[in-house]
Protein backbone atom coordinates (compact mmCIF):
# COMPACT_ATOMS: atom_id res chain seq x y z
CA UNK A 1 0.00 0.00 0.00
CA UNK A 2 1.16 3.53 -0.63
CA UNK A 3 3.06 2.86 -3.84
CA UNK A 4 2.06 4.94 -6.86
CA UNK A 5 2.17 3.53 -10.38
CA UNK A 6 2.90 5.96 -13.19
CA UNK A 7 0.58 5.36 -16.15
CA UNK A 8 -0.08 6.81 -19.55
CA UNK A 9 -3.68 7.84 -19.92
CA UNK A 10 -5.92 10.76 -20.69
CA UNK A 11 -7.39 10.91 -17.21
CA UNK A 12 -4.38 10.22 -15.00
CA UNK A 13 -0.60 10.23 -15.00
CA UNK A 14 -0.30 8.27 -11.79
CA UNK A 15 -2.48 5.79 -9.91
CA UNK A 16 -2.41 4.86 -6.24
CA UNK A 17 -3.76 1.29 -6.12
CA UNK A 18 -5.57 0.05 -3.04
CA UNK A 19 -2.94 -2.67 -2.87
CA UNK A 20 -0.16 -4.10 -5.00
CA UNK A 21 2.25 -7.00 -4.96
CA UNK A 22 5.78 -6.19 -6.03
CA UNK A 23 8.04 -8.27 -8.19
CA UNK A 24 11.62 -8.52 -6.93
CA UNK A 25 12.53 -6.09 -9.71
CA UNK A 26 9.89 -3.47 -8.84
CA UNK A 27 10.74 -3.64 -5.13
CA UNK A 28 14.45 -3.27 -5.88
CA UNK A 29 13.77 -0.32 -8.21
CA UNK A 30 12.22 1.58 -5.29
CA UNK A 31 15.07 0.86 -2.87
CA UNK A 32 16.41 4.16 -1.58
CA UNK A 33 13.82 6.24 -3.45
CA UNK A 34 12.46 9.31 -1.67
CA UNK A 35 8.98 8.65 -3.02
CA UNK A 36 7.31 5.26 -3.61
CA UNK A 37 6.47 5.81 -7.27
CA UNK A 38 7.04 3.18 -9.95
CA UNK A 39 7.81 5.34 -12.95
CA UNK A 40 7.32 4.11 -16.50
CA UNK A 41 11.01 3.30 -16.83
CA UNK A 42 10.85 0.94 -13.81
CA UNK A 43 9.58 -2.65 -13.79
CA UNK A 44 5.84 -2.94 -13.09
CA UNK A 45 4.45 -4.64 -9.99
CA UNK A 46 3.18 -8.21 -10.32
CA UNK A 47 -0.37 -7.54 -9.12
CA UNK A 48 -2.47 -4.40 -8.73
CA UNK A 49 -5.66 -4.64 -6.66
CA UNK A 50 -8.44 -2.05 -6.75
CA UNK A 51 -11.68 -1.97 -4.76
CA UNK A 52 -14.59 -0.40 -6.64
CA UNK A 53 -16.32 2.39 -4.74
CA UNK A 54 -20.06 2.95 -5.28
CA UNK A 55 -21.22 4.87 -8.35
CA UNK A 56 -20.97 4.61 -12.11
CA UNK A 57 -18.02 7.01 -12.33
CA UNK A 58 -15.99 4.77 -10.01
CA UNK A 59 -17.11 1.65 -11.88
CA UNK A 60 -15.95 3.16 -15.19
CA UNK A 61 -12.66 4.23 -13.63
CA UNK A 62 -11.85 0.71 -12.40
CA UNK A 63 -13.27 -1.40 -15.21
CA UNK A 64 -12.28 0.81 -18.15
CA UNK A 65 -9.64 3.43 -17.48
CA UNK A 66 -7.46 1.75 -14.88
CA UNK A 67 -7.75 -1.56 -16.74
CA UNK A 68 -6.37 0.07 -19.90
CA UNK A 69 -3.67 1.97 -18.01
CA UNK A 70 -2.46 -1.09 -16.10
CA UNK A 71 -2.53 -3.17 -19.27
CA UNK A 72 -0.28 -0.60 -20.96
CA UNK A 73 2.21 -1.15 -18.11
CA UNK A 74 2.14 -4.94 -18.68
CA UNK A 75 1.09 -5.71 -15.11
CA UNK A 76 0.66 -9.50 -14.85
CA UNK A 77 -2.57 -9.41 -12.87
CA UNK A 78 -5.13 -6.70 -12.16
CA UNK A 79 -7.74 -7.65 -9.56
CA UNK A 80 -10.99 -5.67 -9.39
CA UNK A 81 -12.82 -6.27 -6.13
CA UNK A 82 -16.42 -5.16 -6.56
CA UNK A 83 -18.47 -5.21 -3.34
CA UNK A 84 -21.61 -3.92 -5.08
CA UNK A 85 -21.59 -6.68 -7.71
CA UNK A 86 -20.28 -9.23 -5.17
CA UNK A 87 -17.52 -10.36 -7.51
CA UNK A 88 -13.80 -10.27 -8.07
CA UNK A 89 -12.57 -9.86 -11.65
CA UNK A 90 -9.07 -11.16 -12.23
CA UNK A 91 -7.54 -9.64 -15.36
CA UNK A 92 -4.66 -11.90 -16.41
CA UNK A 93 -1.98 -10.66 -18.83
CA UNK A 94 -1.90 -13.15 -21.73
CA UNK A 95 -0.11 -12.52 -25.03
CA UNK A 96 -0.20 -8.74 -24.76
CA UNK A 97 -3.72 -8.24 -23.39
CA UNK A 98 -5.89 -8.96 -20.36
CA UNK A 99 -8.16 -11.98 -20.25
CA UNK A 100 -10.83 -11.64 -17.56
CA UNK A 101 -12.17 -14.28 -15.20
CA UNK A 102 -15.01 -13.31 -12.89
CA UNK A 103 -15.12 -15.01 -9.50
CA UNK A 104 -18.18 -15.12 -7.24
CA UNK A 105 -19.24 -17.02 -4.14
CA UNK A 106 -16.92 -19.77 -2.89
CA UNK A 107 -14.84 -20.28 -6.03
CA UNK A 108 -11.15 -19.74 -5.13
CA UNK A 109 -9.23 -17.25 -7.24
CA UNK A 110 -6.56 -18.71 -9.50
CA UNK A 111 -3.48 -16.50 -9.58
CA UNK A 112 -0.44 -17.06 -11.76
CA UNK A 113 1.61 -14.82 -9.48
CA UNK A 114 0.57 -16.44 -6.18
CA UNK A 115 0.14 -20.12 -7.12
CA UNK A 116 -1.04 -21.31 -3.69
CA UNK A 117 -3.61 -18.52 -3.24
CA UNK A 118 -6.63 -20.10 -1.59
CA UNK A 119 -9.14 -17.30 -0.91
CA UNK A 120 -12.51 -17.27 -2.63
CA UNK A 121 -14.38 -14.23 -3.85
CA UNK A 122 -16.74 -14.53 -0.87
CA UNK A 123 -13.82 -14.57 1.58
CA UNK A 124 -12.19 -11.53 -0.08
CA UNK A 125 -15.47 -9.62 -0.15
CA UNK A 126 -16.07 -10.44 3.54
CA UNK A 127 -12.91 -8.59 4.67
CA UNK A 128 -13.90 -5.51 6.60
CA UNK A 129 -17.36 -6.93 7.35
CA UNK A 130 -16.35 -9.32 10.14
- In tens, the pLDDT along 75-114 reads 999 999 999 999 999 999 999 899 999 999 999 999 999 9
Flag whether the pTM goes above 0.75: yes
Q: What is the predicted pLDDT for the residue at 32?
A: 85
Residues 6 or more apart whose Cβ sits within 8 Å of residue 88: 79, 80, 81, 82, 102, 103, 104, 109, 121, 124, 125
Coil/strand/helix, residue 67:
helix
Amino acid sequence: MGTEVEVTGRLAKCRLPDMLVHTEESRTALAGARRATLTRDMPPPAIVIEVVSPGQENRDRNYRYKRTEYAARGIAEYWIIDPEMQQVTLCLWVNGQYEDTIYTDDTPLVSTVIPDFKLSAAQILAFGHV
